[in-house]
Amino acid sequence: MKPRANIILALDVDTLTKARYFVNRLYSKVKIFKVGPHLFTAFGPRIVDIIHKKRAGVFLDLKFHDIPNTVSNAVRQAVKLKVKMLTLHISGGEEMLKSAVKAASEEARKLKVKRPLLVGVTVLTSQKSSPQAILKLAKLGLNCGLDGVVCSVREAVFLRKNIKNKFLIITPGIRADNTVCDDQKRTATASEAIQAGSDFLVVGRPILRAKNPLKAAKKLFK
């Protein structure tokens, strides 16, 4: 089974020059680029503009987690940036999540733009947790109006079996094989993630560190 247009490249780089290089080099294969705290703190909306100029989508992965009012205001600003997706920590709680969903919907209607997909972070892939704990968090987020969750392949199968409603699964930590050891403990290959029911696959280092990034992307998702 081949993935649909669901590859997300994590732009975990230090400069706008590098970010622009990977966006331009990989756009034929990748249509969504993830902007995390590292890159956004350094360059802010400029990196979003670079991606949009290529007509690609932005996955703003800032993992909002604060009091409801602060998160709501942050979400409104993200809507103004016209990002395709953004993340929130489900552990922020029901009030925070509902407030974020409401803010996103209101701001999108006000600006007459498409509301970004709101996805909840269950447990970071660098951390250990039980499937039951992740299921509880996922259900909380979805019940509050989120569009999907971020989780590893190991939990994706469990969530699909235990949550009947339609929702998106975004899986980070995608690797070329399972022999790579780094700070992400729950990694998987692209084929494993697809078979587990993931809709969006986030990959970074296997492509960013390759001598030929485009070739690496094609090989990873062939």
In a domain, 2, yes or no: no
User: In terms of Cα–Cα distance, which of 201, 180, 181 is closest to 191?
Assistant: 201
Tell me if residue 144 falls in helix, strand or coil. coil
In a domain, 126, yes or no: yes
Q: Which CATH number does the domain housing residue 45 bear?
A: 3.20.20.70
Query: End-to-end alpha-carbon separation of the chain, Å?
Result: 10
Q: Catalytic: which of 18, 31, 54, 63?
A: 63
Is 136 noted as a catalytic residue in this protein? no
- Give the position of tokens 């039980």: 130
In a domain, 1, yes or no: no
> In the chain, where does DSSP find H-type helix?
16-26, 37-43, 45-53, 68-80, 94-111, 131-143, 153-162, 190-196, 205-208, 213-220
Number of domains in the chain: 1
pLDDT at 125 over 80: no
In a domain, 83, yes or no: yes
For residue 211, give its domain range.
7-220
Mean pLDDT for the stretch of residues 149-158: 89
pTM recorded for the entire structure:
0.90
Model confidence over 33-83: pLDDT tens digits?
999 999 999 999 999 999 999 999 999 999 999 999 999 999 999 999 999
